[in-house]
Structures are given as structure tokens and as C-alpha cells.
Amino acid sequence: MGKLHEIFLIPVSDKMKSFHLKWRKACLTRGQRALGAPKSLSRLLMNSSISFLILSLVLLCGCAGDSGGPPAASETAGEPPTAEEPSEEASPIFITFEGTDLEGNTISQDIFTQSKLTMVNVWATYCNPCLSEMPGLGELAAEHDAEEFQIIGIVSDVREGEDQALAESLVQNTGANYPHLLANDSIDYALLAGVSAVPTTFFFDGEGAYLGSVVGSAEKSEWEELIHGLLEEL
């Protein structure tokens, strides 16, 4: 059994509803609670009222951050909240950003078009849960065809122009061999403003549409199950 504790999910389309049912069944089989979506949605919505898929795997470990991110999902006792089903297909949410990775390459939201599914993992150099899951993430990146699935890291506590030696060393030591962006104003606005703890992971489809987010770390097998489920529904 991994560290997975609770799951929050709100479907936004028929294909995501079917994934919700399969994921809920898998959770219950493992003795975990499959809950509805928390009422407080990510500030990534930028005050929009659009309902969207949010996968918040609230885990037993993670590192709290000081950024003004979304309220943490806290419905962990009593009756689980009920997911509200949208009356029609929700409009997709897109973000724009541009940043530099540890190797000096410029990366923007255009990178989402290079793969069917992109996982954006926000981590920090001080965060042990982040570092613990990174070897598994490196293996997942290597095991998948990049046109199907890719991973991008964001080093939340190292900004462009700052000393990045520690981040480079941690990436090398954990085998997380995929691009890692340094924080900047553009990334702050697009992604980090919605992060209240690390690791936090976002998912985007091949058109750059936001699919959902995960708060906390997970075992490789748990990530693999979630990734494969999303790929099947895209």
C-alpha cells in the first residue's frame, strides 16, 4: 500500500465521468475513500465559475508552502462532499507561460502539443516527499513514448538567475531526467499561484487544456495507474 489517502475528483465530460467510475472502484478495492470534489476549487480558475476536473490526491506527506495558492482540501471527516455534475460540457482552461530550464532551454506552453498527456510536477529542493517520488517519475518518463506522455518539473524555490547547483545535483541524484523549469514571474502567475504545498502536480492534454491537479507525493505504481487511466480517456 502506498501513501495515497483520499481522492477528490469532479468529472467534466462523459469520458472523464467513465474514468471517475473506474478510479472510484479501484480506490474502494484498496480500502480508500473516493470522495467528491471539494467545494473550494483551485485559484487557477482565476475567479471563473467553470466547473473542471480536479484530481486532488490528498496524501499523508507533503511540504507546506508560503505561496498564495488554493485552499487545501480539508473535507477529511464526516460525510464526503458531493461532486456537482455540470449541466453541459465545461469549457477547457488554458495557461500561457515561458521559462528557462536547468540546461538553459526556453520552454513555453507550446511543449504541451508535443505529447498526448503532460504531467507538470512542482517540487522544491527542501522537500523530502518531492525528492522521494522523483526516482519513480524519472522511470515513468523513460518508460513512456514522449508523444504519449511526458513530464516537466518546476523547481519552485529556485528562480531564474539564482544559483541552481543544488537543484541540478538533486535532479542528477534522483534520476529525474526530464526538463526542469526555474521559477519566474510568468510561471508564478500561470501555475505557482495555485500551489499551497509541494509537491503539486498538474495534468494537461495535447492541446494544452488543463485536466486536473494532485497535491502530495505518490508511489510510482499509483502515478502509473492514474496516468494510464487518463491516457485511455483522452
The torsion angles phi and psi of 18, rounded to 5 degrees, stand at -65, -35
At residue 5, does pLDDT exceed 50?
A: no
Q: 3-class DSSP state for residue 20?
A: helix
Q: How large is the average pLDDT for residues 100-120?
A: 97
Beta strands in the chain (DSSP E): 4-8, 33-35, 56-59, 63-64, 98-100, 106-108, 117-123, 149-159, 180-183, 197-198, 200-205, 210-215
Residues of the chain above pLDDT 70, percent: 62
Q: Mean of the pLDDT values across residues 126-147?
A: 97
Residues 6+ apart with CB under 8 A from 231: 116, 117, 148, 149
What pLDDT score does 89 carry? 61
Q: How confident is the model at residue 1 (pLDDT cuts 50, 70, 90)?
A: very low
Query: To the nearest whole percent, how much of the chain has pLDDT over 90?
Result: 57
Where do we find the cell 505518490?
218
Provide mean pLDDT across the span 167-196: 96
Per-residue pLDDT, averaged over 102-107, amounts to 97
Q: Please indicate whether residue 112 or residue 88 has the higher confidence score (pLDDT).
A: 112
Q: What's residue 194's pLDDT?
A: 82
Please, how many CA atoms are within 13 Å of residue 91, restricted to the half-sphere of its CB? 6
Q: What is the mean pLDDT of residues 163-186?
A: 98
Cα-trace Rg, the chain:
17
Unique residue bearing C-alpha cell 516527499: 129
pLDDT at 222 over 50: yes
pLDDT for 230: 92
The neighbouring-strand residues paired with 214 are 201
Taken in order of first residue, the domains within the chain and their CATH numbers are 4-233 (3.40.30.10)
Mean pLDDT of 141-154: 97
Round to whole Å and give the CA distance between 123 and 89: 32
